[in-house]
Amino acid sequence: MYMMSKEPNDVILICHDCPHVERVDAFDANAGSRRTQAARAMQVHSRDEHGAGSVLTPVPKDDVPIVP
């Protein structure tokens, strides 16, 4: 689906099938993990543009049960 590449100040997700790129630093840290957001965006791209894979709905951090 995609590969990851590191640059000095960024992590980049690169589509295996086309030149599409998602940069982790382009996402808002207030919405959760930037890396997770970039991966989800790449999954959506892969599904919509290449008909590959499924996209899961993330569980908001506040809805995850805390196990003692």
Q: Give tens-digit pLDDT for 38-59.
A: 999 998 898 888 887 655 566 5
Measured between alpha carbons, how far is 25 from 50 in angstroms, rounded to an integer? 24
Residue among 31, 35, 40, 33 nearest 23 (CA): 35
Tell me if 41 sits within 8 A of 22, measured CB to CB.
yes
Give the mean pLDDT of 15-23. Answer: 91
**pLDDT at position 16, please?**
87
**Amino acid, res. 13:** L
Tokens of 12: 């980049």
- Please check the confidence at residue 8 and state whether its pLDDT lies above 60: yes
HSE-CB at 35 with a 13 A cutoff on CA atoms is 6
Q: Which residue in the block uniquely carries the two structure tokens 């970039």?
A: 38
Domain segments of the chain as ranges: 2-56
- Please check the confidence at residue 64 and state whether its pLDDT lies above 80: no
**pLDDT at position 52, please?**
75
